[in-house]
Structure 1
Amino acid sequence: MQPQARALTPRWIMRAMAMMAAALICMVPWAETAAAHGSIVDPASRNYGCWQRWGSDFQNPNMAQQDPMCWQAWQDNPNAMWNWNGLYRNGVGGNHQAAVPNGQLCSGGQAEGGRYNSLDAVGPWKTTDVGSNFSVKLYDQASHGADYFRVYVTRQGFNPATQPLTWQNLELVKTTGRYAPSQNITVDVNAPGRSGHHVVFTIWQASHMDQAYYLCSDVNFR
Structure 2
Amino acid sequence: MSLSAYQTEFLQLALDHEVLKFGEFTLKSGRKSPYFFNLGRISSGMAMRALGSAYAEALSVSGIQYDMLFGPAYKGIPLVTAVACAQAERGIDMPYAYNRKEAKDHGEGGTLVGAAPRGRVVIVDDVLTAGTALREAVRLLKDAGAEPVAAVIALDRQEKGPSGLSAVQEMERDANIRIIPLVTVQTMLGYLAGGGADDATLAAIRAYQAQYGVSP
Tell me which structure has the larger Cα radius of gyration: 1
Higher relative contact order (CA 8 A, sep 6+): 1
Structure having the higher helix fraction is 2
TM-score tier, shorter chain, comes to under 0.3
Q: TM-score, normalised by structure 2?
A: 0.26
TM-score (norm 1): 0.25
